[in-house]
Structure 1
Amino acid sequence: MPHQPQRGRTGRTLAARRARGAALAGGLALLPLAAACDGGGDGSPDGGRTETSAVSAPSAGVVAPAKVEVIAGLTGCKVKIRTDADELREGVCHTPGGDYLITTFPAEKYKLTWLDSAAIYGGTYLVGPQWAISAKPEMLEPLRAKVGGTIQDLDARRTATPSSDK
């Protein structure tokens, strides 16, 4: 009597289900890379955000996933989580070269809102898909070599306060 392949509830063989699962997992693994390639906005490198100037990594081979602990591991630090909220997770890394803050977001829209808010204060940040790193400017380039991303210099939005001439 010939051996029949094992079939599940859907009538597919076990091998077919495994192959389909592997294809799905591979596609999901490439999704963050595809999202990282989308500049968004009007096609300009900074996505139409005029208050930032971006310096892209010319050959960053790594794009870190949006998880504080994984990004921290790639940078070589043991992170201490300081904020764990629905909109963002934030961890602090203490290193001999200086401290830095890794912030991750569940969706790109939260990161963009966070960057818009940070622009009020100015500063330079390393930014990737659903994450940002806040550090001294001289630390950003070595971190970028480890996790990829883009260095963004946010202009401080200062509003002039009318002087009172009395």
Structure 2
Amino acid sequence: MFKQLARGVALTASLALLPLATACSGSNDDASADSEPTEVSAAPAAGVVAPAKVEVIAGLIGCTAKIRIDADELREGVCHAKKADYIITTFPEEKYKDTWLDSASIYGGTYLVGTRWVVAAKPEQLGGLRSKLGGTVQQLGGVNPAPSAS
């Protein structure tokens, strides 16, 4: 199950990077300056306010992350703790996380989402992590093609 989740997340990360790598900005306007601030969810137990690094999140979970993607748009690490395997993805800006989540919604799944970070694991593991990391548990839709009638 973890291997399928890892492949799906890796594919999602690749898809998320494609539009970011090909996009260019011809404007000096900073649209984010006029937008509403993102709600920051502090981790109640740890007292840590996101955004955090992959290694920091892994430490709070109780594992050591092995970095498998280190790009300008995101960093992703995998780690194994006593209860589950985790995929931790962090982003330098909130807009990259939003693009990643949009791409991941094609595949569906449940994620713990914070300010500029996402943790993927089995849904039953994410609720317990919320008390350590903060964030919100989000269920993404997924696209299931309808079977063709022959």
TM-score range, shorter chain: 0.5 to 0.7
Determine which of 66, 73, 78 is the counterpart of 1:87.
Answer: 73
**Partner in structure 2 of residue 124 of structure 1:** 110
Say whether residues 1:147 and 2:147 are aligned partners: no
Where do residues 83-122 of structure 1 align in structure 2 (5 Å cutoff)? 83-122=69-108
| Shift in Å, 1:161 | 5.1
Where do residues 15-26 of structure 1 align in structure 2 (5 Å cutoff)? none
* Residues 62 and 81 in structure 2, CA contact (< 8 A), matched pair in contact too: no
After TM superposition, the score normalised by the length of structure 2 is 0.66
**Partner in structure 2 of residue 158 of structure 1:** 144
Once residues 145 and 109 of structure 1 are traced to their aligned partners in structure 2, the CA distance between those partners, rounded to angstroms, is 25
The one-letter code of the counterpart of 2:51 is P
3-state secondary structure, aligned to 1:157: coil
Once residues 59 and 141 of structure 2 are traced to their aligned partners in structure 1, the CA distance between those partners, rounded to angstroms, is 30
Instruction: Write 1 or 2 for the structure with the bigger share of helix.
Output: 2
When the two chains are superposed, the root-mean-square deviation of aligned CA atoms in Å is 2.4
3-state secondary structure, aligned to 1:144: helix
> Where in structure 2 are there 5+ consecutive unaligned residues?
1-35
The one-letter code of the counterpart of 1:131 is W
| Shift in Å, 1:98 | 1.3
Once residues 141 and 64 of structure 1 are traced to their aligned partners in structure 2, the CA distance between those partners, rounded to angstroms, is 17
| Shift in Å, 1:36 | 3.9
The one-letter code of the counterpart of 1:110 is Y
The one-letter code of the counterpart of 1:84 is D
* Residues 122 and 155 in structure 1, CA contact (< 8 A), matched pair in contact too: yes
> Where in structure 1 are there 5+ consecutive unaligned residues?
1-33, 39-55
**Partner in structure 2 of residue 52 of structure 1:** none
The one-letter code of the counterpart of 1:37 is E
3-state secondary structure, aligned to 1:100: strand
Identity %: 66
**Partner in structure 2 of residue 37 of structure 1:** 39
Determine which of 90, 95, 120 is the counterpart of 1:134.
Answer: 120
After TM superposition, the score normalised by the length of structure 1 is 0.60
| Shift in Å, 1:153 | 0.5
* Residues 36 and 128 in structure 1, CA contact (< 8 A), matched pair in contact too: no
How many residue pairs are counted as aligned between the two chains?
113
The one-letter code of the counterpart of 1:137 is P
* Residues 35 and 129 in structure 1, CA contact (< 8 A), matched pair in contact too: no
Once residues 36 and 66 of structure 1 are traced to their aligned partners in structure 2, the CA distance between those partners, rounded to angstroms, is 15
**Counterparts in 2 of 1:74 and 1:97: CA distance versus 1, 3 Å:** same
